[in-house]
């Protein structure tokens, strides 16, 4: 069986770790662009629970977080009948491929991995899961004949490693043929969404705008974003975290905001209110759906199980090809 892309629509795939409640960076950097691809791509979107195990050491936190991420994807508009939507851990073939791909990468390449290097630099003693993280991620991607991977900029290095592993495999075992599809990252406009402190918005930094906070908390948090302190009348330069968030969320609102800021007589408090309104207009209907979806864990389980069955069909096809190529029966 040849790679799926040769017979079907191209495939888009991405994963989100169940480490905490998804934030605006996840939404603008990965979820919204990924959902936008479903008209033209065959989409595989999943919950990277085994990747989360490198950090999440609490069964209840893991359990809860998987449902948070699942309900988030669905509330944001993922259609489970059109997208293969599943948990990573429901497709054991990924671990078999991870082993094969680990034999395609030099340890030196993994030693240069950002997350591993950061952990060492912080004086931590990273577990081998953090070291091997890029290999499992490569297997996630390659297993489904993925053509494009919508992600934020922080994942660029992982995609480069994935490309290296797939290319090396093809070189060694494919005799010039693309046995494994070599994927492209799809890094969109919102490649690095800033957090409340101006640094990259991230679950671990605690600087995030959680997507489905209640409206009151959302507004309160936005009002606390640090901005300039020029007097109301003064013309202002449209820049900084608040403006950047507005630009990434709703470019048309940002254009208007820029004009008003430059003209003067429009304060940062007004800008915050305008950003809040734009964000709330987009999130409010999703927030309502989120609450309903999140409340029904058995329904989420059923959806994910159904997705995993479909995912395994393609996973098995790839593994048959791989096993044959490397001389395993």
> C-beta of 203: minimal distance to ligand ADP in Å?
4
CB 45 within 8 A of CB 84: yes
Alpha-carbon span 266 to 260, nearest angstrom: 6
Half-sphere CA count of 187, side-chain side, radius 13 A: 13
List the single partner that 140 binds among ligand ADP, ligand TRP, none, CB under 5 to 8 Å by kind: ligand TRP
CB atoms within 10 A of CB 146: 27
> C-beta of 152: minimal distance to ligand ADP in Å?
2
> C-beta of 188: minimal distance to ligand ADP in Å?
9
> C-beta of 21: minimal distance to ligand ADP in Å?
10
> C-beta of 321: minimal distance to ligand ADP in Å?
27
> Which positions lie near ligand TRP, rule CB under 6 A?
13-15, 17, 48, 51, 137, 140-141, 149, 151, 155, 158
Sign of the C-alpha dihedral computed for residues 91, 135, 101 and 41 taken in this order:
positive
Strands 148-151 and 83-87: unpaired
> C-beta of 103: minimal distance to ligand TRP in Å?
19
Residue whose CB is less far from ligand TRP, 110 or 257: 110
List the single partner that 203 binds among ligand ADP, ligand TRP, none, CB under 5 to 8 Å by kind: ligand ADP
Classified as helix, coil or strand, 124 is coil
List the single partner that 141 binds among ligand ADP, ligand TRP, none, CB under 5 to 8 Å by kind: ligand TRP
Residue whose CB is less far from ligand ADP, 203 or 321: 203
CB atoms within 10 A of CB 9: 12
Residue whose CB is less far from ligand TRP, 48 or 187: 48
Spell out the residues 6+ positions from residue 241 whose beta carbon is closer than 8 angstroms to its own: 194, 195, 196, 198, 225, 226, 227
List the single partner that 51 binds among ligand ADP, ligand TRP, none, CB under 5 to 8 Å by kind: ligand TRP
CB 110 within 8 A of CB 134: yes
List the single partner that 236 binds among ligand TRP, ligand ADP, none, CB under 5 to 8 Å by kind: none
Alpha-carbon span 307 to 310, nearest angstrom: 5
List the single partner that 149 binds among ligand TRP, ligand ADP, none, CB under 5 to 8 Å by kind: ligand TRP
Helix count and strand count (H, E) for the chain: 14, 5
Residue least distant from ligand ADP (Cβ) = 29
Nearest 5°: CA angle at 109, between 105 and 114?
130
Residue whose CB is less far from ligand ADP, 194 or 238: 194
> Which positions lie near ligand ADP, rule CB under 6 A?
16-17, 19, 25-26, 29-30, 151-152, 154-155, 190-193, 200-204
> C-beta of 255: minimal distance to ligand TRP in Å?
30
Alpha-carbon span 102 to 100, nearest angstrom: 5
List the single partner that 201 binds among ligand TRP, ligand ADP, none, CB under 5 to 8 Å by kind: ligand ADP
Sign of the C-alpha dihedral computed for residues 108, 180, 319 and 140 taken in this order:
positive
Alpha-carbon span 137 to 304, nearest angstrom: 19
Residue whose CB is less far from ligand TRP, 48 or 254: 48
Residue whose CB is less far from ligand TRP, 14 or 89: 14
């Amino acid at each position: 069986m040849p790679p799926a892309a040769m017979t079907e629509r191209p495939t888009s795939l991405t994963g989100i770790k169940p480490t905490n409640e998804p934030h605006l960076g996840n939404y603008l950097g990965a979820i919204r662009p990924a959902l936008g691809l479903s008209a033209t791509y065959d989409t595989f979107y999943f919950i990277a629970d085994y990747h989360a195990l490198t950090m999440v050491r609490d069964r209840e936190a893991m359990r809860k977080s998987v449902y948070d991420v699942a309900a988030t994807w669905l509330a944001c508009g993922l259609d489970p009948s059109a997208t293969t939507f599943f948990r990573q851990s429901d497709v054991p073939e990924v671990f078999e491929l991870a082993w094969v791909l680990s034999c395609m990468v030099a340890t030196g390449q993994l030693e240069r991995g950002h997350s591993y290097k950061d952990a060492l630099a912080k004086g931590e003693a990273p577990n081998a899961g953090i070291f091997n993280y890029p290999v499992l991620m490569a297997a996630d991607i390659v297993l489904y004949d993925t053509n494009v991977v919508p992600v934020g900029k922080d994942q660029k290095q992982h995609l480069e490693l994935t490309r290296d592993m797939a290319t090396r495999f093809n070189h060694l075992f494919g005799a010039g043929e693309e046995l494994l599809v070599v994927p492209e990252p799809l890094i969109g406009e919102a490649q690095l969404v800033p957090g409340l402190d101006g640094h990259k918005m991230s679950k671990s930094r605690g600087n995030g705008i959680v997507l489905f906070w209640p409206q009151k908390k959302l507004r309160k948090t936005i009002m606390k974003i640090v901005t300039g302190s020029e007097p109301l009348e003064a013309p202002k330069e449209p820049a900084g975290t608040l403006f950047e968030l507005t630009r990434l969320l709703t470019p048309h609102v940002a254009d208007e905001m820029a004009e008003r800021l430059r003209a003067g007589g429009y304060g940062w408090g007004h800008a915050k209110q305008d950003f809040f309104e734009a964000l709330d207009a987009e999130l409010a209907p999703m927030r309502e759906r989120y609450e309903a979806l999140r409340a029904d864990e058995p329904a989420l389980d059923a959806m994910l199980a159904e997705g995993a069955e479909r995912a395994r069909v393609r996973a098995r096809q790839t593994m048959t090809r791989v096993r044959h190529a490397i001389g395993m029966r």
